[in-house]
Amino acid sequence: MKIVMLGAPGAGKGTQASMIAENFGIPHISTGDIFRANIKNGTELGKEAKAYMDKGELVPDELTVRLLLDRVAQDDCKEGYVLDGFPRTIPQAEVLEKELEKTGDKIDKAVNVDVPDENIVRRMSGRRACLKCGATYHIVHIPPKKEGICDVCGSELVLRDDDKEETVKNRLDVYHKQTSPLIDFYSKRNVLETVDGTKDSKEVFEDIKKILK
């Protein structure tokens, strides 16, 4: 089964993608991982991608799709895969669809993890991180034993720039402009399934399992 994960930043789609991959025995594929692997291995596609990244430019959609197709053509993807973080835009989805069609393939399910913006802002702005050992907390859901101090190494916890309310709102604005139109794109192809992402992550996964079975 070929699955695309959809959802706003902070909705938990990466967590769900990992759980799907483990449960169904299929690879969890993110474009970031593909870029890093190809660059590290010095592949021709990796060299092309690195040339753009070194200039601070976005890797073009066509090259990203070529990297992705190269990855999903590998043996471990024969039974399917979960795409996380791609496609992000309608043009990317269209290129992916066109290229998959050439091999008689298609996306089977697009799973949208739906969480209202206000929940995401609360969820992300409550995160705290230890920059020394990498431990992460949440002031409501996973608080440290002592406020502002890491349980593991005793260092001070910080609110990362990425998790600041203003940054989260900006990321959500970009998501609504560029990525949320994919919900309609996959709905028109009758492959969209939406789950309530405000539930506990294990409950969300149970809902996803019912859809995929």
The CATH number for 12's domain is 3.40.50.300
Q: Report yes or no: 192 and 208 within 8 Å, Cβ to Cβ.
A: no
User: What pLDDT is stored for residue 31 in this prediction?
Assistant: 85
What would the mean pLDDT of 123-135 be, rounded to a whole number? Answer: 94
Q: Is residue 198 scored above 90 in pLDDT?
A: yes
In which band, very low, low, confident or very high, does the pLDDT at 59 lie, cut at 50, 70 and 90?
Answer: confident
Q: Are strands 136-138 and 127-130 parallel, antiparallel or unpaired?
A: antiparallel
- Mean pLDDT over 143-148 rounds to 96
Total of domains in the chain? 1
For the chain, how big is the Rg over CA atoms in Å? Answer: 18
Show the tokens assigned to 148: 């502002």
Q: Is the pLDDT of residue 29 over 90?
A: yes
pTM listed for this prediction: 0.86
Higher pLDDT, 88 or 186: 186
- By three-state DSSP, how is residue 99 classified? helix
- How far from each other are the two terminal CA atoms of the chain, in whole angstroms? 10
Place of tokens 């995401």: 120
Active site residue: 2, 13, 109, 123, which one?
13
Task: Check pLDDT > 90 for residue 76.
Answer: yes
Catalytic residue among 109, 123, 127, 128: 127
